[in-house]
Amino acid sequence: MKKILIVDDNVQSLLVSQKSLQQWLKTNAPYQCIIDIAHEPATVLLTKDVLSYDIIITDWSMPVMDGLTFITALKENGYKNKIILESGADIQEEEYAHLNMDITYFRKPIDPSEINKFIDAVIRRPYISL
DSSP 69-123: HHHHHHHHTT--SEEEEEESS---GGGTGGG-S-EEEEESSP-HHHHHHHHHHHH
Give domain 2-90+99-121's CATH architecture: 3-Layer(aba) Sandwich (3.40)
98 CB contacts (<8 Å, ≥6 apart)? Answer: none
Spans of all domains in the chain: 2-90+99-121
Write out the chain's pLDDT in tens, 130 residues.
899 999 999 999 899 999 989 988 888 878 889 999 999 999 999 988 999 999 999 999 999 999 999 999 999 999 999 999 998 878 777 777 777 778 888 988 888 888 888 898 888 876 444 3
pTM given for the model = 0.88
The secondary element (H helix, E strand) that includes residue 42 is helix 41-46
- Residue closest to 45 by CA, chosen among 18, 17, 75: 75
